[in-house]
Amino acid sequence: MQQKTKCFYDFGTFRLDPVEHVLLSASSRVPLTPKAFETLLALVESAGHILEKDDLLKRVWRDTYVEEGTLARNISTLRKALGDDPDGKTYIETIPRRGYCFVAPVRWVLDEGLGTSDTMAAQPHATAQTDSQPSRSHWLLVTALLAILLAGAFVFWHYPLHLREVAANRITLAVLPFENLSGEPAQQFFADGFSEELITQFGSLEPTRLGVIGRASAMHYQGTTKNAREIGHELGAEYLLTGSVRRDMDHVRITAHLIRAEDGTSLWAKDYDRRVSDILALQNEVASAIAREISLKLSPEKNARLTSVHPLNPLAYESYLKGRYFWNKRTAMSYVKAIEYFNEAIALDPQYAQAYTGLADAYALLGSLSNTEIPRREAMPKAKAAALTALRLDDSLAEAHTSLAFEEMHYEWDWPAAEREFKHALDLNPNYATAHQWYAIWFVGRGNIDQALAQLSLAEKADPLSLVIKADTAELLNIVGRYEQAVQVATRAIEFDPNFVLAHYDLANSYVGQGRYPQAMSEYQKMLAADSGNVWARTATARVYAQMGQRAAAKRLLNEVLEACGNDGNCSYEISTIYFSLGESDQGIEWLEKAYQAHEGALIFLNASLPQMRPQPDARYADLARRVDLAINPDKAVGQTR
């Protein structure tokens, strides 16, 4: 058995193992609930000192709001387990109106050579020994090690928090979904929206020193049972901000906790009671408090922004949050619903810049889809108008600059203007994953796949569990022919969500690139099972039939697509790819011209298409690419926008 050194707390007839979370007495374990054990550990670590009730509650129930009665019941449970009298004269003493104190003498034991908890249980107070007496050098070594541990602990706990960070490192914070304690599921949008707004707030706070995990990744932990260490490890975050929201009409109670992910220690906690109209000031107050706690030095401009906010119309704020709630669902109908709510917020507060930003986001993504309720030629100009209005009201909104850049790239093909807006957005908020993700598309359009992959890597770092970023990464790996890597990335996305159709699409395209047509067909069929009208799946299936020489099957699907969306104005590019796969280039060019007239977004990928979507060298194709301000590069490949 491997030898190892561990530290324990000994008191009375008990040994407490802080690593294994075990309390031992004589030759057996003492059964304790996890919260009871955490309470005991907190008390033992502060032996001889009073622990205030609030501090205990914040440390043990850091993710949940509980009443003091819960703590009192925990203390009673511990006293019974320890054999203490009700007044706590031996172990846990109650300090009236303040808290509790662990009064028994506690010894810190450095134990070497122990293998398992059973061994520790058999010898609760004995350090590991051999039959012979340990040498003087052995004891000197143990003493020196103990001194080093004590010195390290002193330095760690007594130096300011910012000095505990590695000097050149960038701190990463994850704002986990705040719990809805309103008692009404219909109020979930309010808790989710508050969490998302905090992510946005922190993202632009001090980006050179503070990285903030994106919303998509944070939402994976809604209702999670994972502990702080697990979440921090999965997200690459040193700190977690958790809390709860309790709304009652126009009042809101917010509880916020800052936790160090490494060990789950609660570093800061506070309750806020505010009117909904003061919610922006409350968000800024939380941001300022966290900045102080992790010793971020804010610029005068950032401090000024945090102290100068105007009260919100509560109804406008509620409509805005509902709009974001539906926008995050990422479907055509949810975008339509989001637009309704954003317009409602603007009607209530015409100076609400964030509501215009939300409106721009909804119109932009709605206009990028096929078969939508609002035609692309109507949606995209509205996206630009909303983004410009948002920036007129507040030029510091990275999200508005990003939406404007998307419209200029995806609809107007104004590459220099789009690049300026992407760069401006990322200067304002380098943590904004969507800006990196869409900027990657810009690089694809310019034929620079390496830079596109670099931007997607930054997007994934900002939002490591985002499925759409994983899908885009798989797509770009297909572009450069790294099919096996693309398979791995797409498969990971599917493991997170088996119903995520974009990942199935990219996985299928990887199989096509490898010549594994049956596997590709299986993935396309999964997409069609979820949505029989999915244009990408139907056109991709037709292309594979054409590659396999099954022209009749390919033609049958082509006719179905023509009947379903031939006049949609946003399907022409997809239709052209079927004709190119069939070797009918004249018809393919004809449909590309229709795509050009409709300003379809997929045309930004003309400088490189997937092999099965690529025409033979054709001067008409090159001319079309020049009109979209692209340069043909037949050695590269790409797929769709997201």
Between 545 and 606, the higher pLDDT residue? 545
Sign of CA dihedral 323, 326, 329, 331: negative
The pLDDT of residue 304 is 63
Find the angle CA(411)-CA(413)-CA(418) to the nearest 5 degrees.
95
Does 5-127 match 171-312 in CATH topology?
A: no
In the DSSP assignment, the letter for residue 575 is H
Residue 590's pLDDT band, with cuts at 50, 70 and 90, is very high
pLDDT of the residue at 626: 85
pLDDT tens digits along 392-433: 999 989 999 999 999 999 999 999 999 999 999 999 999 899
pLDDT surpassing 90 at residue 89: no
Pairing of strands 99-102, 92-95: antiparallel
* pLDDT, mean of residues 522-544: 88
Kindly state the average pLDDT of the residues 101-124.
55
pLDDT higher at 144 or 47: 47
Using CA atoms, how far apart are residues 73 and 70, in angstroms rounded to an integer? 5
Q: Using N-to-C axis directions, what is the helix angle for 68-82 and 34-45, rounded to 10°?
A: 80
Extents of the domains making up the chain: 5-127, 171-312
How high is the pLDDT of residue 222?
86
The C-alpha torsion from 470 through 472 and 474 to 479, rounded to 10°, is -160
CATH top class, domain 171-312: alpha beta
pLDDT of residue 27: 64
The yes-or-no verdict on residue 114 having pLDDT over 80 is no
* pLDDT for residue 546: 92
Whole-number pLDDT of residue 566? 62
Residue 268 is inside which H or E element, if any? strand 265-275
Average pLDDT taken over every residue of the chain: 80
The residue written with tokens 């324990």 in the block is 8
Pick 307 or 243 by higher pLDDT.
Answer: 243
Is 82's pLDDT higher than 80? yes
Which residue do the tokens 């509980």 mark?
A: 66
Per-residue pLDDT of 432-445, as tens digits, reads: 999 999 999 999 88
301 pLDDT band, cuts 50/70/90, is low
- pLDDT more than 90, % of the chain: 31
How far, in Å, CA of 433 to CA of 439, rounded? 10
pLDDT of 314 > 80? The answer is: yes
pLDDT of the residue at 340? 96
Residues 6 or more apart whose CB falls under 8 angstroms from that of 87 comprise 93, 94
**pLDDT category of residue 21 using cuts at 50, 70 and 90:** confident
Quick one: pLDDT band at residue 556, thresholds 50, 70, 90?
very high
Instruction: Give the pLDDT score at 1.
Output: 38
Q: Which one of 7-11, 225-229, 328-332 scores highest in mean pLDDT?
A: 225-229
Residue 382 has pLDDT above 90, yes or no: yes
Quote the percentage of the chain above a pLDDT of 70: 81
Q: Select from 1.10.10.10, 1.20.1250.20, 3.40.1280.10, 3.40.50.300 the CATH code of 5-127.
A: 1.10.10.10
- Which pLDDT belongs to residue 615? 61
The pLDDT tens digits for 325-380 are 888 888 888 999 999 999 999 999 999 999 999 999 999 999 888 655 788 889 99
Q: What's the pLDDT score for residue 188?
A: 86
pLDDT at 161: 38
Q: What is the 3-state secondary structure (H, E, C) of 605-639?
A: HCCCCCHHHCCCCCHHHHHHHHHCCCCCCCCCCCC
Whether 87 has a pLDDT exceeding 90, the answer reads no
Q: E strands, 535-594, where?
A: none
C-alpha distances in Å from residue 179, one per residue of 55, 64, 245, 265, 570 = 20, 8, 6, 19, 40
Q: Determine the average pLDDT of the residues in 466-485.
A: 89
